[in-house]
């Protein structure tokens, strides 16, 4: 990798190792923390969501669940091999561990300390071309106070890079999808086209 010294490369690898080894939230969850992050900082696409699901906690692969199948196949139009290629995608989240369930069955919000410890350090190392922010909770972290629908429908800028906000592909969001069909007809095709241009250096 031109321009990267051995010390830079070691520092990048060390950051991922330290994130994966983190147990700061031991005792906050009813399970052992398992931080999930994947990719290389030079990957052109950096995807950030709220936190891993229970399935991801068990497998160790981000979006290794039904939501991930929809995100990769239906929305991005790519296969698992491309999505999990660390040279193409850097995949992380505001909270690195599955935070557990609420009494009503939804996922708890990740503790703020996780982002404080790791997220800014990750952002400083990234050399991506595009940010993908998945889900309202992650969008609220980066763009507090902005209307989610407006964030989804218009390209934003994060760290001087084009940033696309997407609704979470979870089945729990079915009402949002029904209320906003324009996402599928007007917005998603242009996002997919841009991703394919970056991933494959050609029109989809």
**How do the pLDDT tens digits run along the chain, 204 residues long?**
455 555 555 556 689 999 999 999 999 888 999 999 999 999 999 999 999 989 899 998 999 999 999 999 999 999 999 999 999 999 999 999 999 887 777 778 889 999 999 999 999 999 999 999 999 999 999 999 999 999 999 999 999 999 999 999 998 899 999 999 999 999 999 999 999 999 998 654
Domain 6-200 bears CATH identifier 3.50.50.60: no
- Chain centre to alpha carbon of residue 75: 14
Reference 152, options 160, 169, 164, 162; nearest CA is 164
182 contact partners, CB below 8 Å, separation of at least 6: 153
First vs last Cα of the chain: how many Å apart?
Answer: 27
Asked whether the whole model's pTM tops 0.85, one would answer yes
For the chain, the domains span 6-200
Which tokens belong to 60?
């160790």
């Amino acid at each position: 990798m031109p321009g990267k010294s051995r010390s830079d490369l070691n520092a990048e690898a060390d950051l991922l190792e330290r994130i994966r080894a983190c147990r700061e939230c031991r005792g906050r969850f009813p399970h052992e923390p398992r931080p999930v992050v994947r990719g290389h900082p030079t990957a052109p696409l950096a995807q950030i969501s709220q936190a891993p699901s229970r399935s991801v906690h068990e497998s160790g692969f981000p979006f290794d669940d039904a939501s991930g199948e929809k995100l990769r196949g239906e929305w991005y139009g790519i296969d698992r091999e491309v999505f999990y290629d660390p040279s193409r995608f850097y995949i992380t989240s505001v909270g690195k561990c599955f935070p557990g369930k609420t009494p009503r069955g939804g996922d708890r919000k990740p503790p703020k300390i996780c982002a404080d410890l790791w997220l800014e350090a990750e952002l400083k190392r990234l050399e991506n071309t595009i940010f993908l922010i998945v889900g309202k909770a992650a969008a609220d972290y980066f763009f507090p106070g902005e209307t989610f629908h407006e964030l989804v429908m218009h390209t934003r800028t994060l760290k001087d890079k084009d940033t696309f906000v997407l609704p979470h592909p979870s089945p729990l969001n079915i009402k949002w999808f029904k209320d906003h069909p324009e996402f599928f007809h007007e917005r998603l095709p242009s996002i997919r086209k841009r991703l394919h241009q970056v991933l494959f250096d050609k029109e989809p």
